[in-house]
Amino acid sequence: MANWNLSVLADSAVLILSELLSNAALHAKVTPEQAIETYYVRRREGLRIEVHDGSAERPQPRPADLEAPTGRGLLLVEALADEWGVADRDGPGKVVWAALSVRDAASSAGGGSGRD
């Protein structure tokens, strides 16, 4: 991100990527043989983070149970990203993505609700 002059997005990007990867590993029901691929895509206004997996099951945000050890990942993604969503990919599976923009990074975390 430093090479793209996007260091201001690094903390949010790493947390979002961590949450999207965790969701893919825990909830997408992919076998260890099915690859989970990650991408950072440079955009003119910022960064798009993509996690590709082999499962067609779409993530479903749900109210977090205060007693449960899981269930907050997509809430964090939604709070940090300007927008996020799910798209079909070429071949089996899906792409879960989140976008961050530089213009909003200095003021506060975005409130993404954009979903495909």
Domain 7-105 has CATH 3.30.565.10: yes
65-82 per-position pLDDT tens digit:
777 666 688 888 999 999
Quote the pLDDT of residue 12.
Answer: 94
Helices and strands of the chain, counted as H and E runs = 3, 4
**pTM (whole model) above 0.75:** yes
Domain spans in the chain, listed from the N-terminal domain onward: 7-105
Please tell me the distance from the alpha carbon of residue 94 to that of residue 70, in angstroms, as a whole number: 22
Tokens 């149970």 belong to 65
Q: Is the pLDDT of residue 113 over 70?
A: no
Residue 33: the pLDDT is 61
